[in-house]
């Protein structure tokens, strides 16, 4: 009853199936003696035709026969037919094997002839499926579908059953019953889908033959839910891969495979689209002009239109990627775009998506106190008055929110208070406005519309697609637009020569990307609006009468109007990009083929910044800047392949070469920070006074020439060995020492075929690989030139020697990886498991290490050292339900990685990633990448003291700290302990529910946002954390605190106790500077007495008794300790949820529509965070810019004002195929 499918096409030029008739295929190199099964297996590989047969033919198939090489396939099949009771019939790409007529043993009497017809479509996209085999089970009767997927077949027998089969799809049996029309939507088969995997150099391979782990994602799985950046769609779907969005929509998306392996680079993998290496990096943070105007322009991989993607292969380790050389150390993402080859008639597909991003969660700010430093007191009329009894003016230029209490019926003079007839300002009620940021942001709308036309014939195929994306961000006046036009086509120039090309033209642009970090960031400005102000009062953001010159601000010169920041700081960009290739495949002989490819990726990006006058840091006419970035990469390559079958061995040898050339240039003209423009708001370069003009240009180039070879050796389709070798010659290494060689080997063994096993095990595979990848340096890494230190006084040139030490004798980096794994599929592939363990050793990394500045330099390039990454990747997939039209698929991916610095250069004992406050992230030799350190609190260390563990305070009542280095005080690690992704897909009768969960467990991040907002008393959390004295004072208070020392005295976690309150009513103490308001607090601990030599001789309590040092409650934040703002980074996100429905055919047929589906979806919903502070831990990235402002990157594990509100998106999707 089961129809076996023997063999699928192998690789290379034959991969897409047979293109010649069987009478034109010459049978060569097939063993002339063997069982039918063995021989037709060989013939499959030779010809690309798949043989289909029923398992009741087993006896016949095991019969030994003889054939002759050199004949045509037709002749060979005829010969087999003569030697057996079998006959062969070609149906499209398949050869159906069956018993000769008259031998089926069926009686003539039972034959009642009836016509059945119908249409076969693909469940995937609803497209018609031409060439599907339709066979009456147990007979020789067969038919195949026409170009519109229609078939007609005559059936006989008492209980006829039709068998539908097509390569790559699950074979289905349908009982005819009394019906005369049978339509069928065929499902792609998971099993066969897994088998054809795109590997390095675009070579398609059976997955079972691979000795390394490759993650694959089908195109359909990234379009259930449309994301602006195609990388976002991969989150949680592939084990070993961590995807993180660094900011709000349109920001860069980081993809790290198997953990950070390089300390100094962004660790992004190489992206190869249809053989074209694509420039992508995380260094997209720039400051074109303006003071504190740091903008993330998004990474260039977002230029890809997700609808064009056929499949994505993630080559995780060097074993898989070794052939890509230099850039493969971080893994390779191979993206294959859709072609028209599958579409036997012209198919038009239209997709339309619209998603609404509804912001719903904001930083929990305090709303109890107005802006100010001291609360002051209301008079009898409820007017807050100063010491003189005059109405108090809320001083909005204060950064702290520790002023008078709100919502108590009090009044004070506020920034927009009216004046009376005498010109005196009238106090207005102090009311809290808790929804300021909510009232500032808007619902974001993203709509993506696309259309594609595809068709394929014997001679040629094409697919042309156009896509358009419009995004209006949740920050007012922010947007993003994308247009892309892609053509994918191949032409069969002759029987042996095929020429193909793919070209992608795209434009991405924005009128305004909002700035991130601190400075012009509109969200920062919005969060800075005090709780006593209604942000909507700032909506008309000009001072009346001074439109264009002076923004309306609660505190002119100190604080910016968020709407002004949104509308009058404009960071626009436009990126025009072309990438594509031209490829020729020449099948010279059946064994020997040659291909050549020319691939190009180039883009121009123009960034322009216009800042209108009166941004607090640009008050001299505004700011203007123009930057032009050009990137160009060209690769010319060839690959010669020779295939040979020798007895039980299946051999493929290839040699190839590649010539890569890249250039990069950058031109920038802008006004210097704070220097301004001659005529306000005239945005031209000519309007910048010469002394205020910042200008720079850069040109860089690099070339790498490579030769490589690979060998695939298969033994009886049971054991596979892959060997590769590559040599590169790079332009960036020292002359005469710029050549480096690296090999790889991997082995795959199919134990289930080697050892007899229960047939419940469909696949048991062991795999192992070892590989090396060499890497060169960035251009110009050998010698430094002098840089510009800024012209003095507009005339005096000041050159400066770079603070980084370069190495003129650089050696290439060498990364060696070892991986082993097992794949196990059981219960007819309904349960699938894969596990991989890997070790990767990176030697001789070229990285700038921060060194002691007393050496004269701040960094020195290291070209030594050893980094070791170890990790586990597990994936478990299953189909718990597959019956009665219900299908439920589940998939889990587990990832854990740790990277250890084993060695660095002599004299260097740690590598520093970033520093902030008094701590930062650095890793000592022998320890783990991601560790974070902080200043250590000074406490009583004498265990016999009753004050053991108490903080030792200075005479000003504040904490003391020891430096993070001398104390070696580790406080966390920013990498997660593990990642767990889960996908579930439930389908029933045209309805599909798809969900993708992503859980990241463990890890910490430093929130500079909280650090600043807590020290300024904006954060509700901090306000609530102050320990209440519970009405106690003096010794009673001290006793109470001591009784609860672990809770109220000894700092723990991110809690540094402070005792008191904001007012007398909430526990505040009277103190020297309180202006009569009792807002005094103290830090519980002890002060110490010292002798002349500095030794401790005793302690004095600072616990509320006599001598306790008090200070204003807003001065008590533990600013010196990053730990006070360190949070658990664990979270769970629902990356995707979509419900789609295929419209019943009956409804749409009349419209000429083949298939239509409707969907509703959402994405990136934060379900849970451990920190509970309304910051997305995934966005714990802080952008940095280099001093030149041209490029910047991200510090990981720390954020500052990266506080995009959380959103609940609601999206709609329509898909129509004509």
Partner 1 sequence: MKNTTRNYTAVLVLVLFLVSCKDITELNKNTNGVEPQTVNPDLILPTVLTETGKTFLNLGFGDASGIVQHTQGDAFNAGRDYYDWGQSNSWISPSSSSGDFYGIQRNNKLLYDRSVTLGYKFHQAISLIVKSMNFGLVADLWGDAPYSMANQGETGTPETISPAYDSQESIYAGIMADLETANTLLATNPASLETVSSGIDVIYDGDPTKWRKLANTLLLRYYMRLSNKKPDVAKAGIEKIVNNPTQYPIILETADDATMNYPGVTGGVDDWPGNTYFDASGQGYRRLKPCQTLVSALQKLNDPRLAVWAKKVETPLAIDPSLPDTTDKISNGVRYFGVKAPALLQTQKIAPVNTDPNYVGLPPGIQSPSTYNANPVVGQASYNPHVSYLNEIYTQPSTTKSPLLKARLASAAEVQFILAEAALKGMAVGDAQMYYNAGVRASLTTWGVGSQYATYIANPGVAFVGTVKQVITQKWIASWTAATEAWFDWRRTGYPEMKAGPYAKRPELPVRFYYSIDEQRYNTANTTAAMGNLAQTQYSQADGANSAWSKPWLLQGSGSPSNFPY
Contact set for partner 1, span 600-659 (CB under 8 A) = 616-617, 619-620, 638, 640, 655, 657, 659
The verdict on 1194 binding partner 1 (CB under 8 A) reads: no
The verdict on 733 binding partner 1 (CB under 8 A) reads: yes
Answer for which of 284, 399, 825, 1179 binds partner 1 (CB under 8 A) is 399
For residues 793 and 790, what is the distance between their CA atoms, to the nearest angstrom? 9
Segment near partner 1 (CB under 8 A), from 38-46, 168-176, 233-241, 729-737? 729-737
Minimum gap (Å) between residue 397 Cβ and partner 1 = 4
Answer for which of 792, 883, 1031, 1146 binds partner 1 (CB under 8 A) is 792
- Can you give the three-state secondary structure of 834-898, one letter per residue? EEEEEEEEEEEEEEEEECCHHHCCCEEEEEEEEEEEEEEEEEEEEEEEEECCEEEEEEEEEEEEE
By beta-carbon proximity to partner 1, the closer residue of 71 and 620 is 620
By beta-carbon proximity to partner 1, the closer residue of 524 and 1142 is 524
By beta-carbon proximity to partner 1, the closer residue of 507 and 1075 is 1075
By beta-carbon proximity to partner 1, the closer residue of 252 and 637 is 637
The verdict on 483 binding partner 1 (CB under 8 A) reads: no
**Binding positions for partner 1, 32-51, rule CB under 8 A:** none
Structure tokens at 770: 């070892």
Consecutive H or E run containing 212: none
Answer for which of 75, 188, 310, 395 binds partner 1 (CB under 8 A) is 395
For residues 433 and 136, what is the distance between their CA atoms, to the nearest angstrom? 74
For residues 359 and 687, what is the distance between their CA atoms, to the nearest angstrom? 40
Answer for which of 50, 437, 952, 1049 binds partner 1 (CB under 8 A) is 952
Task: Give, in order, the Cα–Cα distances in Å from 563 to each of 299, 437, 1049.
Answer: 27, 11, 44
The verdict on 970 binding partner 1 (CB under 8 A) reads: no
Segment near partner 1 (CB under 8 A), from 777-785, 885-893, 1146-1154, 1198-1206? 777-785
Answer for which of 267, 446, 609, 675 binds partner 1 (CB under 8 A) is 675
The verdict on 594 binding partner 1 (CB under 8 A) reads: yes
By beta-carbon proximity to partner 1, the closer residue of 856 and 1144 is 856
3-state secondary structure of 284: coil
- Can you give the three-state secondary structure of 1122-1180, one letter per residue? HHHHEEECCEEEEEEEEEEEECCHHHHHHHCCCEEEEEEEEEEEEEEECCCCCCCHHHC
The verdict on 785 binding partner 1 (CB under 8 A) reads: yes
- Residues 210, 767: contact at Cβ < 8 Å? yes
The verdict on 577 binding partner 1 (CB under 8 A) reads: no
**Binding positions for partner 1, 1054-1113, rule CB under 8 A:** 1071-1076, 1088, 1090-1094, 1111-1112
Structure tokens at 991: 């309805």
Minimum gap (Å) between residue 737 Cβ and partner 1 = 9
By beta-carbon proximity to partner 1, the closer residue of 800 and 977 is 800
The verdict on 909 binding partner 1 (CB under 8 A) reads: yes
Segment near partner 1 (CB under 8 A), from 302-310, 543-551, 669-677, 869-877? 669-677
Segment near partner 1 (CB under 8 A), from 202-210, 672-680, 885-893, 1160-1168? 672-680
**Binding positions for partner 1, 819-878, rule CB under 8 A:** 850-858, 860
Answer for which of 481, 729, 818, 888 binds partner 1 (CB under 8 A) is 729
How many residues are recorded in the chain?
1218
The verdict on 494 binding partner 1 (CB under 8 A) reads: no
Task: Give, in order, the Cα–Cα distances in Å from 1216 to each of 228, 463, 470, 1138, 1143.
Answer: 21, 16, 20, 17, 10
Cβ neighbourhood burial of 1103 (10 Å; 0-12, 13-18, 19+): buried
- Pick from 1018, 1054, 999, 1009: which is nearest to 1169 by CA? 999
The verdict on 1188 binding partner 1 (CB under 8 A) reads: no
**Binding positions for partner 1, 238-297, rule CB under 8 A:** 291
For residues 483 and 462, what is the distance between their CA atoms, to the nearest angstrom? 20
Structure tokens at 1208: 């609940």
The verdict on 730 binding partner 1 (CB under 8 A) reads: yes
By beta-carbon proximity to partner 1, the closer residue of 480 and 1118 is 1118
Please list, in sequence order, all residues whose beta carbon lies within 8 angstroms of the beta carbon of residue 494, skipping any fewer than 6 positions away.
none
For residues 91 and 130, what is the distance between their CA atoms, to the nearest angstrom? 11
The verdict on 978 binding partner 1 (CB under 8 A) reads: no
Long-range Cβ pairs for the range 587-592 (8 Å, 24+): 587/13, 587/496, 587/497, 587/498, 588/496, 590/26, 590/28, 590/46, 590/643, 591/28, 591/29, 591/642, 591/643, 591/644, 592/640, 592/641, 592/642, 592/643
Pairing of the two strands 991-1001 and 970-973: unpaired
Burial 926-963 (b: 16+ CB within 10 A, else e): ebebbbbbbbbbbbbeeeeeebebbbbbeeebbbbbee
Query: Would you give the DSSP letter of residue 329?
Result: G
Pairing of the two strands 693-715 and 719-730: antiparallel
Angle in degrees, CA 193, 198, 204, rounded to 5? 90
**Binding positions for partner 1, 686-725, rule CB under 8 A:** 691-692, 697-705, 707
**What x-and-dash track marks residues 1119-1158 binding partner 1 by CB under 8 A?**
-x--------------------------------------
Answer for which of 161, 678, 872, 908 binds partner 1 (CB under 8 A) is 908
Answer for which of 379, 731, 762, 984 binds partner 1 (CB under 8 A) is 731
**Binding positions for partner 1, 737-766, rule CB under 8 A:** 738
The owner of tokens 């890497």 is 775
The verdict on 113 binding partner 1 (CB under 8 A) reads: no
By beta-carbon proximity to partner 1, the closer residue of 449 and 858 is 858
The verdict on 907 binding partner 1 (CB under 8 A) reads: yes
**Binding positions for partner 1, 502-561, rule CB under 8 A:** 555, 557-558
The verdict on 393 binding partner 1 (CB under 8 A) reads: yes
The verdict on 685 binding partner 1 (CB under 8 A) reads: no
By beta-carbon proximity to partner 1, the closer residue of 493 and 807 is 807
Minimum gap (Å) between residue 1077 Cβ and partner 1 = 9
By beta-carbon proximity to partner 1, the closer residue of 700 and 946 is 700
Answer for which of 7, 590, 734, 743 binds partner 1 (CB under 8 A) is 734
Minimum gap (Å) between residue 1121 Cβ and partner 1 = 11
The owner of tokens 């998939």 is 891
Minimum gap (Å) between residue 1004 Cβ and partner 1 = 20
For residues 48 and 109, what is the distance between their CA atoms, to the nearest angstrom? 39
- Pick from 146, 153, 147, 190: which is nearest to 168 by CA? 190
């Amino acid at each position: 009853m089961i129809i076996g499918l023997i063999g699928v096409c192998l690789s290379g030029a034959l991969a897409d199936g047979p293109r010649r008739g069987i009478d034109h295929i010459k049978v060569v190199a097939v063993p002339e003696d063997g069982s039918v099964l063995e021989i037709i297996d060989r013939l499959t590989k030779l010809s690309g035709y798949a043989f289909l047969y029923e398992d009741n033919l087993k006896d016949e198939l095991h019969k030994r026969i003889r054939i002759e090489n050199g004949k045509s396939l037709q002749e060979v099949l005829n010969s087999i037919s003569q030697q057996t009771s079998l006959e062969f019939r070609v149906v499209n790409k398949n050869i159906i094997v069956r018993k000769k007529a008259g031998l089926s043993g069926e009686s003539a009497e039972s034959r009642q002839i009836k016509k059945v017809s119908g249409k076969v479509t693909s469940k995937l996209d609803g497209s018609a499926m031409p060439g599907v085999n339709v066979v009456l089970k147990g007979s020789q009767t067969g038919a195949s579908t026409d170009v519109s997927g229609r078939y007609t077949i005559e059936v006989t027998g008492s209980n006829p059953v039709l068998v539908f089969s097509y390569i790559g799809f699950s074979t289905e049996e349908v009982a005819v019953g009394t019906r005369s029309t049978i339509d069928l939507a065929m499902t792609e088969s998971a099993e066969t889908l897994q088998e054809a995997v795109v590997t390095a150099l675009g070579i398609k391979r059976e997955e079972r033959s691979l000795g390394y782990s490759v993650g694959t994602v089908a195109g359909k799985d990234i379009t259930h839910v449309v994301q602006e950046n195609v990388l976002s769609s991969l989150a949680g779907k592939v084990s070993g891969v961590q995807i993180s969005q660094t900011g709000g929509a349109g920001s860069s998306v980081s993809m790290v495979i198997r953990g950070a392996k390089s300390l100094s680079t962004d660790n992004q993998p190489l992206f190869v689209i249809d053989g074209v290496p694509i420039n992508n990096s995380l260094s997209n943070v720039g400051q074109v002009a303006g003071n504190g105007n740091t903008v993330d322009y998004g990474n260039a991989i977002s230029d890809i239109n997700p609808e064009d993607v056929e499949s994505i292969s993630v080559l995780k380790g060097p074993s898989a990627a070794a052939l890509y050389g230099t850039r493969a150390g971080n893994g390779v993402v191979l993206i294959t775009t859709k072609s028209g080859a599958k579409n036997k008639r012209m198919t038009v597909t239209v997709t339309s998506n619209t998603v609404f991003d509804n912001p719903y969660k904001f930083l929990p700010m305090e709303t109890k106190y107005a802006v100010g430093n001291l609360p002051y007191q209301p008079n009898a009329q409820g007017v807050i008055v100063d010491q003189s009894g005059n109405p108090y003016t809320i001083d909005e230029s204060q950064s702290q929110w520790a002023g008078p209490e709100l919502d108590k019926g009090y009044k004070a003079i506020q920034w927009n208070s009216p004046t009376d007839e005498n010109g005196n300002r009238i106090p207005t009620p102090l009311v809290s406005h808790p929804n300021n940021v909510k009232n500032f942001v808007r619902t974001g709308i993203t709509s993506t519309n696309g259309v594609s036309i595809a068709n394929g014939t014997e001679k040629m195929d094409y697919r042309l697609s156009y896509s358009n994306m419009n995004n209006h961000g949740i920050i007012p006046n922010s947007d993003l637009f994308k247009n892309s036009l892609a053509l994918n086509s191949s032409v069969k120039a002759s029987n042996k020569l095929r020429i193909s090309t793919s070209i992608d033209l795209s434009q991405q642009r924005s009128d305004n990307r909002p700035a991130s970090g601190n400075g012009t960031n509109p969200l920062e400005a919005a969060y800075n609006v005090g709780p006593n102000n209604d942000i909507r009062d700032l909506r008309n953001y000009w001072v009346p009468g001074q439109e264009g010159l002076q923004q309306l601000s609660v505190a002119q010169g100190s604080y910016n109007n968020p709407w002004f920041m949104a509308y009058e700081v404009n960071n626009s960009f436009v990126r025009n990009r072309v990438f594509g290739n031209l490829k020729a495949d020449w099948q010279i002989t059946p064994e020997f083929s040659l291909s050549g490819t020319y691939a190009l990726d180039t883009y121009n990006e123009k960034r322009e910044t216009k800042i209108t006058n009166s941004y607090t840091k640009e008050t001299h006419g505004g700011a203007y800047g123009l930057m032009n970035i050009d990137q160009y990469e060209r690769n010319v390559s060839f690959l010669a392949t020779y295939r040979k079958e020798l007895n039980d061995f299946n051999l493929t040898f290839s040699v190839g070469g590649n010539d890569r050339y890249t250039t990069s240039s950058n031109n920038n003209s802008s006004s210097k920070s704070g220097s301004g423009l001659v005529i306000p708001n005239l945005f031209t370069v000519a309007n910048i006074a010469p002394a205020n003009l910042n200008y720079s240009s850069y040109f860089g180039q690099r070339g790498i020439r490579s030769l490589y070879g690979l060998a695939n050796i298969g033994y009886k389709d049971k054991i596979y060995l892959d060997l590769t070798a590559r040599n590169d010659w790079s332009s960036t290494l020292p002359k005469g020492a710029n050549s480096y060689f690296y090999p790889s080997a991997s082995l795959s063994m199919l134990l289930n075929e080697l050892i007899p096993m229960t047939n419940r095990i469909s696949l048991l595979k062991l795999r192992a690989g070892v590989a090396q990848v060499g890497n060169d340096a960035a251009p110009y890494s050998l010698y430094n030139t002098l840089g510009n230190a800024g012209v003095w006084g507009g005339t005096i040139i000041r050159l400066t020697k770079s603070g980084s030490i370069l190495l003129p004798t650089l050696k290439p980096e060498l990364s060696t990886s070892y991986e082993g794994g097992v794949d196990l599929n059981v219960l007819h592939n309904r349960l699938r498991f894969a596990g991989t363990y890997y070790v990767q050793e990176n030697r001789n990394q070229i990285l700038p290490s921060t060194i002691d500045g007393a050496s004269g330099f701040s960094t020195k390039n290291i070209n030594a050292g050893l980094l070791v990454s170890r990790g586990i990747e597990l994936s478990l997939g299953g189909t718990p339900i597959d019956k009665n039209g219900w299908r439920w698929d589940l998939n889990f991916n587990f990832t854990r990685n740790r990277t250890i610095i084993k060695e660095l250069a002599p004299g260097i004992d740690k590598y520093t990633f970033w520093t902030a406050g008094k701590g930062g992230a650095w890793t000592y030799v022998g320890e783990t990448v991601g560790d974070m350190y902080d200043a250590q609190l000074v406490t009583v260390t004498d265990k016999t003291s009753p004050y053991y563990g108490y903080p030792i305070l200075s005479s000003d009542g504040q904490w003391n700290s020891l430096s993070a280095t001398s104390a070696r005080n580790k406080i966390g690690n920013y990498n997660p302990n593990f990642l767990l992704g889960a996908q579930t897909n439930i389908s029933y009768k045209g309805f599909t529910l798809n969900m993708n969960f992503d859980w990241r467990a463990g890890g910490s991040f430093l929130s500079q946002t909280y650090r600043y907002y807590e020290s300024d008393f904006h954060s509700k959390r901090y306000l609530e954390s102050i320990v209440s004295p519970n009405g106690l004072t003096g010794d009673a208070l001290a006793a109470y605190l001591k009784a609860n020392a672990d809770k109220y005295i000894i700092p723990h976690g991110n809690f540094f106790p402070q005792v008191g309150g904001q007012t007398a009513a909430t526990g505040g103490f009277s103190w020297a500077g309180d202006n009569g308001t009792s807002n005094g607090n103290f830090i519980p601990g002890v002060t110490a007495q010292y002798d002349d030599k500095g030794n401790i001789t005793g302690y004095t309590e600072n616990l509320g008794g006599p001598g306790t040092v008090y200070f204003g409650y807003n001065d008590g934040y533990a600013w010196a300790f990053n730990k006070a703002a360190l949070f658990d980074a664990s979270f769970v996100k629902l990356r995707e949820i979509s419900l789609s429905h295929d419209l019943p055919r009956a409804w749409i047929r009349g419209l000429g529509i083949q298939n239509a589906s409707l969907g509703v979806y959402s994405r990136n919903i934060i379900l849970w965070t451990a920190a509970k502070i309304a910051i997305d831990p995934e966005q714990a990235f802080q952008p940095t810019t280099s001093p030149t402002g041209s490029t910047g990157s991200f510090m990981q594990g720390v954020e500052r004002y990266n506080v995009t509100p959380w959103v609940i998106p609601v999206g709609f999707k329509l898909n129509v195929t004509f």
